[in-house]
Amino acid sequence: MAVSKRETDVVVIGAGISGLVAAKCMKEDGFKVTVIERTGEIGGLWTFREHDYGVMRCTHINVSKYNYCFSDFPFPEDVADYPHHSDMAKYIVNYAQHFNLVELISFHTIVTSVIRKGEKWEVVIKSVEDQGHTPQGTEVIYCPFLIIASGHHAKPSLPKFLGQETFKGEIIHAVDYKDPLTNGLVGKRILIVGIGNSAVDSAVDCTTVGRCKSVVISTRSGAWIIPNYIFGFPVDLYACRAFFLLPWRWANFILERIIKFVSGDPRRWGLNPKMRALQTQPTVSPTLIHHIQRKNIKIVPNIAKIDGDTVHFVNGESGQFDNIIYCTGYKIDLPYLADDMHSKVLDEGSNNIKLYKNVFSPALGPSLAFIGFVQPASGGVLTMSETQARWFGQICRGRVQLPQKHLMEMDMEMEMVAQKDRWYSSARHTIQRDPIVYNDEIASFFGAKPDIIKHPAIAWRLLFSSCGAAQWRLQGPGQWNGAAKAVQKVPLTDLMHYSGMAFALFTGMILLLLLYIMWYMMSLLFENFIV
Ligand SMILES: Cc1cc2nc3c(=O)[nH]c(=O)nc-3n(C[C@H](O)[C@H](O)[C@H](O)COP(=O)(O)OP(=O)(O)OC[C@H]3O[C@@H](n4cnc5c(N)ncnc54)[C@H](O)[C@@H]3O)c2cc1C
Ligand SMILES: NC(=O)c1ccc[n+]([C@@H]2O[C@H](COP(=O)([O-])OP(=O)(O)OC[C@H]3O[C@@H](n4cnc5c(N)ncnc54)[C@H](OP(=O)(O)O)[C@@H]3O)[C@@H](O)[C@H]2O)c1
């Protein structure tokens, strides 16, 4: 069969949120964009599928809609603070339709190889059979710019425990968990491994919807469980610049006090975190602790060995189980990259990516951007992907330049050291970043970091409130006229009011003190002068 060839300005691999927002930014920068998507839908993992990659039936996003949204396209007001995945999928489709992105996408098409050919990228794509779609063949696209947005939750990470092969029941990974009915778990004894968001969502689902006989979570590192709401407001609304200006250990001290104040010491519930609260990907659940308190869910340490239907844990306890769900996370996977490129970008063993600011490989140059290869700690990846894509657009247009190769490499080394101090050592934290800090840094490279002096009407919000996604559209290329209004619509927590009041009070007191000192000095001078 003849292989057809064509040219475009930019190829985007993947039509999840990262690929879509990247396509939109590049289109707005005047480029001809082609998006390649393996499935028949947009939205990546936010499209619920009965038998494929995607969210669980119960998934609600765990970041509020103010911080997990496109910066110039707020969520409708009638959607809940934490939208269900179906609302999220609808919102993504509306975004793609509103900005005419759907026509840019080749669905049911997979990228099988990417190599550098002279000044261009050669992207080989293949039509795939999917949901009755008949494959059309292979095609080659040449382009000067390439965006990889195929998602960092690409490949399930599977542990191997001693004696695992003797287990009599079924073992699945979270990627295959949809709900207790679909997975045949009703009334069964369930062991869940891991304590990330997949683990707690499926544990609560099994104990409630599945009325499972027993639900046990086995965790090797423990966790700080953060409720969706603290004092009546979505928890991510407390993340603000003032908080991240503090040394992280001080900020952590505050966060841990608040968690203990609201939910009690995690050790009381057997959660036994081995890391500080601000050193890990937050596990957000409104009900896990409630179910632990009712003894519907039990927490145990890591698995020592499996023997038939009996699982032994490292503390000497054991239990019988019918099913095991490995909620042990995902690995980055870039199977279409040529071998020499692959080793320059990804260290598969450690799940480390070798990218400058999580976007550019110094070895591969500025014409290739990795969008969405960053894990947000206190907000959503959506704004981070968008800021990265806007930066890439400016670089491709020649308005902004990357530092020299050796400077980028030096920066990466320094960042690696800082990362090791900041995050608990685990494969799930290799690309972890604080979104406000990260977005500010990337936006500062092309003039979109919100300048507090330039926006006096919302200056206080920019310091003490989370402000939502629109804050990075207040200025710079791609500025959005509705941004300030959107920032003002993000709810202010009571704590922000108090911190603002405390700040105003503190500043007032300092001013009064200064005035008093000036008055005192003047009076001394005046007395000496008179004498
Ligand atoms: C169950 C689950 C729930 C989550 N919930 C949250 C949350 O509440 N809040 C949060 O901040 N984050 C959440 N995340 C993290 C999540 O990864 C990101 O928020 C985000 O959805 C990732 O989007 P993406 O576009 O980068 O990747 P994806 O959504 O994974 O999209 C990648 C797209 O690329 C396509 N693709 C892959 N390879 C190829 C190829 N070779 N050729 C063509 N197409 C390809 C895929 O089909 C897919 O459509 C969740 C993750 C999981 C696994
Ligand atoms: N409702 C939602 O919004 C929602 C739902 C699901 C997932 N998500 C998101 O999706 C992403 C993936 O979440 P996830 O929960 O699937 O994975 P994850 O956050 O990577 O958590 C994996 C868990 O498995 C443990 N683990 C990994 N390997 C192990 C091993 N060999 N033995 C024992 N334990 C092991 C980890 O412990 P260590 O810490 O010790 O490594 C960790 O507790 C995250 O970004 C998450 O926020 C969101």
**DSSP structure string for 131-163:** TTBPP--EEEEEESEEEE-S-S--EE-----TT
pLDDT of 131 reads 62
523 inside domain: no
Indicate whether 172 and 117 sit together in one domain.
Answer: no
Indicate whether 127 and 30 sit together in one domain.
Answer: yes
481 inside domain: no
The amino acid occupying position 445 is F
**Atom 53 of ligand 1: nearest residue by CA position:** 153
Indicate whether 169 and 291 sit together in one domain.
Answer: yes
Indicate whether 224 and 90 sit together in one domain.
Answer: no
Task: Report the Cα–Cα distance between both ends of the chain, in Å, rounded.
Answer: 106
Q: How far apart are CA 39 and CA 50, in angstroms?
A: 13
Tell me the ligand closest to 88's alpha carbon.
1
Q: How far apart are CA 346 and CA 361, in angstroms?
A: 10
What would the two tokens of residue 189 be? 């004894």
Indicate whether 171 and 35 sit together in one domain.
Answer: no
Ligand 2 site: residues with CB under 6 angstroms?
A: 59-62, 153, 157, 159, 174, 193-199, 201, 219-221, 281, 302, 327-330, 375, 426, 428
Q: What's the pLDDT band for 106 if we cut at 50, 70, 90?
A: very high
pLDDT in tens, 117-149: 999 999 999 998 766 666 678 899 999 999 999
Domain harbouring 128, CATH code: 3.50.50.60
Distance of CA 47 from the midpoint of ligand 1 (Å): 10
- Whether ligand 1 lies within 6 angstroms of the CB of 123 is answered as no
Best residue for ligand 1 mutational test, from 55, 127, 153 (most atoms within 8 Å of Cβ) = 153
Tell me the ligand closest to 16's alpha carbon.
1
Query: For a pLDDT cut of 70, what percent of the chain falls above it?
Result: 98
Mean pLDDT, residues 84-88 = 97
On whether the CB atoms of residues 258 and 230 are closer than 8 A, the answer is yes
On whether the CB atoms of residues 363 and 355 are closer than 8 A, the answer is no
Indicate whether 140 and 220 sit together in one domain.
Answer: no
Residue 531 pLDDT > 60, yes or no? no
pLDDT in tens, 150-206: 999 989 999 999 999 999 999 999 999 999 999 999 999 999 999 999 999 999 999
> Helix, strand, coil proportions of the chain in percent (round to 5)?
40, 20, 40
User: What average pLDDT does the chain have?
Assistant: 94
- Whether ligand 1 lies within 6 angstroms of the CB of 388 is answered as no
pLDDT of 130 reads 66
Indicate whether 99 and 122 sit together in one domain.
Answer: yes
pLDDT of 528 reads 73
Tell me the ligand closest to 44's alpha carbon.
1
479 inside domain: no
Indicate whether 65 and 126 sit together in one domain.
Answer: yes
Q: How far apart are CA 371 and CA 375, in angstroms?
A: 11
pLDDT of 382 reads 95
Mean pLDDT, residues 421-433 = 90
Which of 328, 356, 387 is the endpoint of a domain? 328
Please list the residues that pair with 33 across neighbouring strands.
10
Which of 328, 352, 371 is the endpoint of a domain? 328
pLDDT of 476 reads 95
Best residue for ligand 1 mutational test, from 150, 175, 331 (most atoms within 8 Å of Cβ) = 150
Give the 3-state secondary structure of residue 313. Answer: strand
Distance of CA 16 from the midpoint of ligand 1 (Å): 6
Give the 3-state secondary structure of residue 130. Answer: strand
pLDDT of 379 reads 82
pLDDT of 92 reads 98
Best residue for ligand 2 mutational test, from 198, 288, 326 (most atoms within 8 Å of Cβ) = 198
Best residue for ligand 2 mutational test, from 200, 226, 328 (most atoms within 8 Å of Cβ) = 328
**Atom 48 of ligand 1: nearest residue by CA position:** 44
Tell me the ligand closest to 46's alpha carbon.
1
Which of 328, 362, 392 is the endpoint of a domain? 328
446 inside domain: no
Count of structural domains within the chain = 2
Distance of CA 325 from the midpoint of ligand 2 (Å): 12
Residue 43 pLDDT > 70, yes or no? yes
443 inside domain: no
Global confidence as pTM? 0.93
What would the two tokens of residue 32 be? 């001809």
Distance of CA 194 from the midpoint of ligand 2 (Å): 6
**DSSP structure string for 434-463:** -HHHHHHHHHHTTT-S--TTT-GGGHHHHH
- The residue among 496 and 161 whose pLDDT is bigger is 161
Residue 380 pLDDT > 90, yes or no? no
Q: How far apart are CA 190 and CA 498, in angstroms?
A: 45
| Angle CA 25–435–372, to nearest 5 | 45
Q: Where are the beta strands (DSSP E) in 349-389?
A: 352-353, 368-370, 375-376
pLDDT of 378 reads 82
369 inside domain: yes
Out of 21-25, 243-247, 312-316, least confident range: 243-247
On whether the CB atoms of residues 226 and 252 are closer than 8 A, the answer is no
**Atom 5 of ligand 1: nearest residue by CA position:** 61
Task: Name the residue among 203, 170, 204, 217 with its Cα closest to residue 322.
Answer: 170
pLDDT of 530 reads 62
Indicate whether 138 and 47 sit together in one domain.
Answer: yes
Q: Which residues contact 240 (CB under 8 A, 6 or more apart)?
A: 436, 463, 464, 465, 466, 467, 496
**Atom 47 of ligand 1: nearest residue by CA position:** 38
Exposure b/e, 492-528, CB count within 10 A at least 16 = b: bbebbeebbeeeeeeeeeeeeeeeeeeeeeeeeeeee
Q: Which residues contact 175 (CB under 8 A, 6 or more apart)?
A: 53, 156, 330
pLDDT in tens, 282-339: 999 999 999 999 999 999 999 999 999 999 999 999 999 999 999 999 999 999 998 8
Give the 3-state secondary structure of residue 500. Answer: helix
Task: Name the residue among 152, 236, 222 with its Cα closest to residue 427.
Answer: 152
**Atom 18 of ligand 2: nearest residue by CA position:** 329
Q: What's the pLDDT band for 374 if we cut at 50, 70, 90?
A: very high
92 inside domain: yes
pLDDT of 529 reads 67
508 inside domain: no
Task: Name the residue among 423, 340, 409 with its Cα closest to residue 377.
Answer: 423
Indicate whether 285 and 362 sit together in one domain.
Answer: no
- Whether ligand 1 lies within 6 angstroms of the CB of 36 is answered as yes
Distance of CA 437 from the midpoint of ligand 2 (Å): 23
pLDDT of 134 reads 63
Residue 86 belongs to what domain range? 4-154+331-438
Query: Which atom of ligand 2 is least distant from the CA of 62?
Result: 3
Backbone angles phi, psi at 367, to 5 degrees: -90, -5
Distance of CA 22 from the midpoint of ligand 2 (Å): 26
Indicate whether 134 and 165 sit together in one domain.
Answer: no
- Whether ligand 1 lies within 6 angstroms of the CB of 39 is answered as yes
How many other C-beta atoms can be found within 10 angstroms of the C-beta atom of residue 340? 11
On whether the CB atoms of residues 483 and 474 are closer than 8 A, the answer is yes
Query: Which atom of ligand 2 is least distant from the CA of 60?
Result: 1
Indicate whether 212 and 338 sit together in one domain.
Answer: no
